[in-house]
Amino acid sequence: MKKIEAIIKPFKVDDIKEALNEIGIKGMTLTEVKGYGRQKGHKEIYRGAEYVVDFIPKVRIEVVVEDQQADQVVNTIREAANTGKIGDGKIFVIPVEDVVRVRTGERGPEAV
Amino acid sequence: MNSGDIAWMLCASAMVLFMTPGLAIFYGGLVRSKNVLGTMMHSFIIMGVVSIMWVLYGYTMAFGPDMGGGLLGGAKYLGLAGVGADIGPYSDTIPHILFCAFQLMFAVITPALITGAFAERMKFSAFLIFTILWTTLVYFPVCHWVWGEGGWLRELGALDFAGGTVIHINSGIAALVCALFLGKRKGYGTEQMHPHNLPLTILGAGILWFGWFGFNAGSALAANGTASMALFVTQVAAGTGAVFWVIAEWIYQGKPTTLGAASGAVAGLVAITPAAGFVGPVASIMIGGVAGVLCYGAVVMKSRLGYDDALDVVGIHGVGGLWGALATGLFACEAFGGVNGLFYGNPKQFAIQAIGAVAAIAYSLILTAIILKVVDGVVGLRIDEEDEHQGLDLSQHSEVGYRIV
């Protein structure tokens, strides 16, 4: 199993969710995060004082899938999240050792 | 007695009181989230502390018969003796106790304004002692000078309709001394100190604006034409202040900000306060507009001058109050109730206004410095570094403003 972790622009969340639904992904976890990479931060002004804010709000989506579906999920997210502009985000693919469904105690791919 | 006047002044008193929790919300939104409760508590607890002081000895110090020299009221109304439902010396149409209640609300908000200068770093105990001493030794006497029977500035003919000198210059200068005396917040200039909740601040500014109608129109002490004109020019000056602050920052820094609009409205309100009963609508545009630009400039200058007046009490109340006091000497017009100012051929009034302002600045400056020195010696003014890092809410009050889980 693989965990796909995508850091994306917040306004792309709905597009990605729909795209993943279409390829049969039934669940995901979403976190509001902040960070920066090649996209520069922004300026804020409060009563004449200017602040440069490095950390930009992003959303992190986590999806766990079976190995053979990982590429399809990565591509789907990439297509849905792409605006062509700097700051579109990153996708990480991480191996997952085991999954346990809390309610039933099922393990492995059935529990996803 | 006049039941119309009584009804209006009851409402106006409640409106002025509402400004203090409004100020708590205004200030609360401007600090970092770890200090939101500590900052709001400053304003809130003053509503209690000053009420007690006012009954016991405050009212008589400010409004008792003059002790001689126009400096302080005598002890006639100690414990509000003889102040009741009958007519008092300040109005023939409302009960003495109602005048006393209305004036109490002014005594409450003035020390609350200062708290913006020492926000995020003052010990709660030190704040309480400072507030009691400052209100006693600075507010009550200056209030007597300007508004008390026999007060020397009143006798001189200084115009201060609703408290430009008494409240705004007075608290603005005290704020400057506090900011200099306490020093900067830890991390000032290196860490980012953004306002944590500007919608709260906008709401607070709205409450202040609303309450200010009670403040200025109520200062007519009657439901009459002067009150109506005062209310009108208050509205115009506030609106013009907001517009001109925003224009100034848009030109200078490239963006019109909501905090700028809120701050400009307050600057306009501050500036029209001493003039409200004495000027007309066109003058109120000038007074509010200049206040917006001038106070924005003062706030921008602050970072160059290097003192940490955390919530800009000096830039808005000090500078705006000074402009208002002087502007009253320029724009006052006999047709609106007072005397003529410089622009209507009476330069003497401008000089009197300047004397009043300078006297308040000098007195507030010296007394505030002495009081801070004493309080620092007794309990220490600043919270220790670790507490400052943790925030006022937890370190001073064992509470947190926002809980996420």
Q: B396: distance to nearest CA of chain A, Å?
A: 27
Residue B403 within a domain: no
The rounded mean pLDDT for chain B is: 96
What is the residue-wise DSSP string for B95-150? EHHHHHHHHHHHHHHHHHHHTTTSTTTB-HHHHHHHHHHHIIIIIHHHHHHHHSTT
A105 shares contact with chain B (CB less than 8 Å): no
**Does any domain span residue B295?**
yes
Question: What is the number of domains present in chain B?
Answer: 1
For B179-265, strand residue ranges (E) read none
pLDDT of B12 above 70: yes
Residues on chain A touching B189 (C-beta within 8 angstroms): none
Which residues from chain B sit within 8 angstroms of residue A47, using beta carbons? 257, 259-260, 263, 296, 299, 312
Q: Do residues A87 and A38 touch, judged by C-beta distance below 8 A?
A: yes
Number of domains, chain A = 1
Residue of B nearest to A44 (CA): B194
Sequential pLDDT tens for chain A (112 residues): 999 999 999 999 999 999 999 999 989 999 999 998 887 788 889 998 888 888 888 999 999 999 999 999 999 999 999 999 898 999 999 999 999 999 999 999 888 8
- What B336-339 contacts at long range (C-beta under 8 Å, 24+ apart), as own/partner pairs, is B336/B226, B336/B229, B336/B277, B336/B278, B336/B279, B336/B280, B337/B226, B337/B229, B337/B277, B337/B278, B338/B159, B338/B161, B338/B277, B338/B278, B339/B157, B339/B159, B339/B278
pLDDT in tens, B340-350: 999 999 999 99
The minimum CA-CA distance between B260 and chain A, rounded to whole Å, is 6
Contacts of B161 (CB under 8 A, 6+ apart): B216, B219, B230, B273, B274, B275, B276, B277, B278, B328, B338
**Segment B196-220 mean pLDDT:** 98
Instruction: Name the minimum distance, in Å, from the CA of B112 to any CA of chain A.
Output: 21
pLDDT at B316: 97
pLDDT in tens, B244-296: 999 999 999 999 999 999 999 999 999 999 999 999 999 999 999 999 999 99
Q: CA B262, CA B207: separation in Å to the nearest integer?
A: 11
Helix (H, G, I), strand (E, B) or coil at B187: coil
Which chain A residues contact residue B303 at CB under 8 A? 48-49
CA–CA distance, B297 with B244 (Å, rounded to integer): 11
B352-391, pLDDT tens digit by residue? 999 999 999 999 999 999 999 999 999 999 999 999 999 9
Looking at the domain assignment, is residue B402 inside a domain? Answer: no
> Any idea what the CATH number is for the domain that residue B236 is in?
1.10.3430.10
Residue B41 DSSP class: H
Q: Which residues contact B398 (CB under 8 A, 6 or more apart)?
A: none
Partners of residue B194 in chain A, C-beta under 8 Å: 44, 46, 51
Does any CB of chain B come closer than 8 Å to the CB of residue A18? no
Instruction: Return the residue of B nearest to A43 by Cα.
Output: B255
Q: Establish if A46 touches chain B: CB-CB under 8 angstroms.
A: yes
Q: Pick the residue from chain A with its C-alpha nearest to B30.
A: A46
We report the CATH number of the domain holding residue A72 as 3.30.70.120
> CA-CA distance, B359 to B362, in Å (whole number)?
5
Report the pLDDT value the prediction gives residue B185, as an integer from 0 to 100: 96
Of A46, A48, A50, the CB nearest to B195: A46
Least Cα separation, residue A48 to chain B (angstroms)? 5
Tell me whether A34 touches chain B (CB under 8 Å): no
Domain hosting A107: range is 2-111
Q: Which range (A80-84, B39-43, B109-113) has the least confidence?
A: A80-84
Q: Provide the token pair at A96.
A: 């997952």
pLDDT at B404: 74
How does DSSP classify residue B31? S
Q: What is the ipTM of this complex?
A: 0.78
The first and second tokens of residue B189, run together, are: 């200039």
Q: How many CB atoms lie within 10 A of CB A23?
A: 12
User: What is the predicted pLDDT for the residue at B199?
Assistant: 98
What whole-number distance in Å separates Cα of residue B286 and Cα of residue B331?
A: 9
| pLDDT score for B405 | 66
Residue A40: what pLDDT? 77
Mutation target vs A (from B27, B194, B293; most A CBs, 10 A cutoff): B194
Which amino acid appears at position B119 of this protein? A
| Residue B287: half-sphere exposure toward Cβ, Cα within 13 Å | 37
The reply to whether B405 falls in a domain is no
| Domain limits for position B173 | 3-397
- The answer to whether residue B404 is domain-embedded is no
Confidence of residue B189 (pLDDT cuts 50, 70, 90): confident
Residues in chain B: 405
| pLDDT of B4 | 97
Q: Please count the other Cβ atoms lying within 10 Å of the Cβ belonging to residue A92.
A: 13
* B299:A51 CB<8 A: no
Residue B215 maps to a domain: yes
Tokens of A45: 């002004």
Residues of chain B above pLDDT 90, percent: 96
- What distance in Å separates the CA atoms of residue A78 and residue A9, rounded to the nearest whole number? 12
Instruction: Quote the pTM value.
Output: 0.88
